[in-house]
Amino acid sequence: MRPQILLPANPNSNEMLLQDIFSVSRIKAGLEAGDKDEVFEELVDVLVRGYNIPNRDEILAGIMERESRMSTGIKTGIALPHGKAAGIEGICGVIGISAEGIEYDALDGEPVYLIILLISSPDSAELHLKTLKKIAGLLENPGFYTDMRAADSAEKAYSILKQYENILESRES
């Protein structure tokens, strides 16, 4: 059985929606992890279940290898771990929300509360960058982080993602 991975109809268009990548089953509110390694394990497990991906260990190793080069704790309270893995076509991802905060070795030294994890195929660099750019657009709106951090269920987080993505899409039109 092939993993269910997002491939936009036209990679050069803006048709790709983050709400397609991060469905309710690919969001975990109430993360249990206390540190970066634990959160990678927890989120990769959500990713494997959410996309029916068989190569968990390879994905986890790819995330950890990328993180060893530089922390992906990019903004106060936010981390964007990402990597590439063979056996993936296109891009897939999960979102995790922690009420307690996770010790992450972020660039600012603060814990993170919102983690957006992405994995793409080695030959999907353009799609990977477009997805990161779209996520950056969401993160520019301070209300997105505040509302996501307050979400206590995957359903609420997904609704918030859709709301802010729709705002972003309307600005880009």
- Say if 98 falls within a structural domain: yes
pLDDT category, 112, cuts 50, 70, 90? Answer: very high
Task: Tell me which residue of 105, 92, 84, 128 sits closest to 4, measured CA to CA.
Answer: 92
How many Å apart are CA 75 and CA 113, to the nearest integer?
11
User: Among residues of the chain, what percentage have pLDDT more than 70?
Assistant: 91
**Single pTM value for the model:** 0.90
Question: What is the average pLDDT score of the chain?
Answer: 88
Q: Mean pLDDT over residues 28-37, rounded?
A: 95
Residue range 23-32, pLDDT digits in tens = 999 999 999 9
Q: Tell whether 9 is covered by a domain.
A: no
Q: Supply the range of the domain harboring residue 26.
A: 21-172
Report the pLDDT averaged over residues 7-33.
78
Q: Quick check: is 129 in a domain?
A: yes
Report yes or no on 4 lying in a domain.
no
- Percent of the chain, pLDDT > 90? 66
Count of structural domains, the chain:
1
16 assigned to some structural domain? no
The answer to whether 51 and 3 are in contact (CB under 8 A) is: yes
In a domain, 49, yes or no: yes
Quick: pLDDT tens for 120-141.
Answer: 988 988 998 999 999 999 999 9
- Residue 81 forms part of a structural domain: yes
* CA–CA separation, 119 and 161 (whole Å): 19
Residue 111 lies in a domain: yes
CA angle, residues 155, 96, 45, in degrees to nearest 5: 105
For 55, the 3-state DSSP assignment is coil
pLDDT bucket at 15, cuts 50 / 70 / 90 = low
Is it the case that residue 11 has pLDDT exceeding 90? no
The CATH number of the domain holding residue 148 is: 3.40.930.10
Decide if pLDDT at 62 tops 80: yes
Whether the per-residue pLDDT at 77 is higher than 90: the answer is yes
